[in-house]
Structure 1
Amino acid sequence: MNKKLSIKSWAEEDRPREKMLRKGVAALSDAELLAILIGSGNATESAVELAQRILHAVDNNLNALGKLSIKELTSGFKGIGEAKAVSIIAALELGKRRNAADIPQRDSIRSSNDAFRLMHPLLCDLPHEELWVLLMNRANKVIEKIKISQGGTGETSADILLILKAAITSLASGIILFHNHPSGNLAPSAQDDQLTQRLQQSAKLMNLSLLDHIIISDNQYYSYADEGRLGL
């Protein structure tokens, strides 16, 4: 019967913690970084082997790993208890927040990609749809981001009056509308088109501009402005 070789018995240059201290964090693979988080494996796997199996289960996609729940991690992988699952999810959430923290340093939103990067951490991993607005001043600087509504897996409701009230209260001059598609399909629905048209027409009456409507899914997005579809 083969006995598991623990990480402590590995050559020092192969141990994740020692490797990081000697070569820097960039030298570590995703599995090695994950192994440092979970600390130990199980009766038949080292921490690195367990981390490799977890990553293999999500096709080595960290975004997919970030969508797993505590229950999915603890029930799907022997050696992952609640504390380790919490550590994994917390670390991935910190990574998302770090990405989001880069945006406020910019003076303004200059493109759909700037807007996408700001809102992506809030919407990318949700199993349900949410509708948000980004309120802008005349220099295209962000005043505020506000969640308008939350729905099911296929749709969310949109209250035009709530959007306009938020914009007027914040003294905004421009609005960028956001929602996510948990299905992964970026194609706008007929309801998305109708919402875009209704909000654009209503905003115009209040001397406000709908600058874009962006649909987010994973690491991709669809921009009505980029596609030249704000004149629906």
Structure 2
Amino acid sequence: MAKLKIKDWAPAEQPRQKLLLKGAEALTDTELLAILINNGAPGKNVMELCRELLSHVHHDLSLLASLSVKDLQKLHIKGLGEAKAIALAAALELGIRRNMAASFRPRVKQSADIAHYLRARLEHRKKEAFAVVCLNNSNKILRFEIVSEGGVTGTVADPRVVLKKALEYDATSIILCHNHPSGNLRPSTADEMLTQKIKAAAACLDIRLLDHIIVSNEGYFSFADEGLLR
């Protein structure tokens, strides 16, 4: 017996119609992805394609969001070509930015004011990245920028690059941040040495280092909160 095409399903069961009738919150992850991807492949409808995609990431949307267009194509899922991978990556990036906007407070007074923003930006990455947040005299964010990216176990940040960014955006203070893909939030000895090196160099330029925040899917660690910036 031939399989029914999605357009032949009852309207209330078709993802697009279901969203119109019941709202996006009523749809499963598979149905939401099906709307984004739009169509399947010969012998495989879009719902089957999306179920296969979710199975590859163990139904973990955070893991899915960490995949680049090339990573998605390397899954070798029939019907998931470059165009669909690009559309999917764009939609997932919008989700990340939405989380950033929802958790972001324009003036930083304590680590919690920015930690969730930084987690939304970095915690999904599979490789370690080091970023600097530039702030003005009122502790409002001027710029967030990744200054180095490395492997799964580490990255090296050049203090000169960090301070160049601070000067470029006329920052009076900065916050350092990097992620730990392993989930472990404790800073390494190298993390502590680099932090002190950047703090000393920044002070020579009358730029304050307010904090260094490590993020992962387990939470965050604040050097300032733990008294490591004295």
- For this structure pair, what is the TM-score category when the shorter chain's length is used for normalisation? 0.7 to 0.9
User: What do the CA deviations read for 1:194-225 (whole angstroms, capped 9, x no partner)?
Assistant: 11222233334444322110122347322222
Q: Which amino acid aligns with 1:93?
A: E
Q: Is this contact kept in 2: 1:138–1:174, CA < 8 A?
A: yes
CA 1:198–1:72 in 2, change beyond 3 Å: closer, same or farther?
A: closer
The Cα shift of 1:41 comes to 2.8
- Find the aligned partners of 2:164 and 2:93 in 1 and give their Cα distance: 31
Identity of aligned residues (%): 44
CA 1:166–1:17 in 2, change beyond 3 Å: closer, same or farther?
A: closer
The Cα shift of 1:176 comes to 0.4
CA 1:124–1:169 in 2, change beyond 3 Å: closer, same or farther?
A: same
- Find the aligned partners of 1:147 and 1:162 in 2 and give their Cα distance: 10
The Cα shift of 1:36 comes to 0.9
Equivalent position of 1:224 in the other structure: 223
Gaps of 5+ in 2: none
Q: How high is the TM-score relative to the length of structure 1? A: 0.83
> Aligned to 1:132, what secondary structure does the other structure show?
strand
The Cα shift of 1:126 comes to 3.6
Equivalent position of 2:133 in the other structure: 134
Q: Is this contact kept in 1: 2:107–2:138, CA < 8 A?
A: yes
> Aligned to 2:151, what secondary structure does the other structure show?
coil
The Cα shift of 1:43 comes to 4.5
Q: Which amino acid aligns with 1:164?
A: L
Q: How high is the TM-score relative to the length of structure 2? A: 0.83
Equivalent position of 1:187 in the other structure: 186
The Cα shift of 1:188 comes to 1.5
> Aligned to 1:175, what secondary structure does the other structure show?
strand
CA 1:143–1:86 in 2, change beyond 3 Å: closer, same or farther?
A: closer
Matched, 1:34 2:33: yes
Q: Which amino acid aligns with 2:227?
A: G
CA 1:59–1:136 in 2, change beyond 3 Å: closer, same or farther?
A: same
- Find the aligned partners of 2:144 and 2:70 in 1 and give their Cα distance: 31
CA 1:177–1:72 in 2, change beyond 3 Å: closer, same or farther?
A: closer
Q: Is this contact kept in 2: 1:4–1:45, CA < 8 A?
A: no
Q: Is this contact kept in 1: 2:183–2:218, CA < 8 A?
A: no
1:138-153 correspondence to structure 2 within 5 Å: 138-153=137-152
- Find the aligned partners of 2:81 and 2:166 in 1 and give their Cα distance: 45
- Find the aligned partners of 2:159 and 2:39 in 1 and give their Cα distance: 51
Residues 84-93 or 41-50, more deviating: 41-50
Matched, 1:167 2:184: no
